[in-house]
Amino acid sequence: MVPEKLTFSPLSRRQIEADFSGGHITSDAGLLLLRKVDKQHRLTHRLASALHDPRTPEQVRHKLDTLVRQRVFGVAAGYEDFNDHDALRYDQALQTALGEEETLAGKSTLCRIEQNADRQAMVKAHELLWHHFIEQHDEPPKEIVLDFDGTDIPVHGEQPGKFFNRYYDHHCYFPLYVFCGRHLLVSYLRTSDRSDSRHSWAILALLVRFIRQYWPDTQIVLRGDSHFCRPRMLNWCDRHHVDYIVGIGKNSRLLKEVDVPMMLVRKTQWQVGGKVAGTFRFQYQAHSWKYPRWVVARLEEGERGSNPRFIISSRYDDGFKLYYEQYCARGDMENRIKDQQLSLFADRTSSTHWWANQWRLILSGFAYTLFERLRTYLKSTSFARMSPSNLRLKLIKVGAVIIRNTRRVRVLMSDSYPYKTALSDLVRRLVPS
């Protein structure tokens, strides 16, 4: 059959024609990089072990670990919906990355597997993230900082646990994230009708208990905003020798404590102009506390007036260091959350099953972890600090012709691919000769 020709407006005297006779061409040749990373760390294989597979073995066409890998690789490549896989299942780059030679699963099969997720699967999936975190260290670190924070996921349909949140001014979920540096440890879906610290104390206790099984001498630090300044949480940290640096909301007593130093900052601002800031440390005991704790006040005066902020720390240290070097560093976690929400589709919680939505959050987390493991081979390169969306654009979204026969699979990329030198170096690191 002669392929249909498509004719475009000419370029000078030359006719521009196109047809569909180019063979199998993919836009995702870079998935082979994630395949190698995944084989080294066995992330998707271990994630599949968390799911229960009720299918009759004799009638299974697509193995469970292949289905999980298909979804994680799909998210990493920018395909957030099940519907995408009805066409993506024929892509030979994805088939090769999954270790398959035949057509992959469609949206219905993937959806049915998602519905098997339950609470026990979520617990196992998080334990896998924690084990993987431990494995990435050759020796126990002297100190680790656990960053806690929540964010919103808008809910537009009739998903379970749908509530209106006054702060965000829409119906939403309110997932809790925990990171240690760039390592994702917790991606926990919550409803938005409770306080921001809901379940955070229990999750902290589980995490600390798990980490100390392997690193008993490592100092653990809790870091979070004022939503995590809860007496029960702080008391537990004190009893279990966990340090903390958390924000505390303003109140009249705190503001009265900093009246004098705030006047000095204001006077300096009048003299020098511009914005002036300083820190002031003092002891403070809230009515719900059994004993006083150290508070660091960040006192700032600018054109818009005074802007004091307060943090509590279990550490007696220089106020400037505690606030600016240690507490403000938690802002980097917000970039990690953006990676999850904006680049890896953690906000696609549109299922009518609660645990299916939590499973999608986990899939996004494992796709993020794959990119982080890929990033370890990109040190000292321009890719080292790129977001997952940029890594996807430059290293995963690579056009190529794929030719398969009985002896080999050839992936023919363009000789004008702008990052071919970097890609060649990366492949040599991943597959040493």
pLDDT in tens, 78-87: 999 888 999 9
**Least confident interval from 195-204, 221-230, 329-338, 366-375:** 195-204
CA neighbours closer than 13 Å in the CB half-sphere of residue 388:
29
Share of the chain above pLDDT 90, in %: 71
- The candidate with the shortest Cα–Cα distance to 31, out of 425, 428, 391, is 391
Mean pLDDT to the nearest integer, 400-421: 91
| Token couple for 141 | 């670190």
- Kindly indicate the confidence band of residue 406, based on its pLDDT and cuts at 50, 70 and 90: confident
Distance, CA of 110 to CA of 408 (rounded, Å): 29
pLDDT digit string (tens) for 318-341? 888 999 999 999 989 999 999 999
357 has pLDDT over 90: yes
Distance, CA of 349 to CA of 158 (rounded, Å): 11
- pLDDT for 306: 86
433 has pLDDT over 70: no
Q: Angle at which helices 64-76 and 354-375 pack, to 10 degrees?
A: 70
187 has pLDDT over 90: yes
- pLDDT for 135: 95
- pLDDT for 396: 95
212 has pLDDT over 60: yes
pLDDT digit string (tens) for 295-308? 999 999 887 888 89
Is residue 210 a contact partner of residue 189, using CB atoms and an 8 Å limit? no
Is residue 72 a contact partner of residue 367, using CB atoms and an 8 Å limit? yes
Question: What average pLDDT is seen over the chain?
Answer: 91
- pLDDT for 282: 92
**Least confident interval from 1-10, 284-293, 416-425:** 1-10
- pLDDT for 356: 94
Paired residues of 403 in beta bridges: 410
- Kindly indicate the confidence band of residue 1, based on its pLDDT and cuts at 50, 70 and 90: low
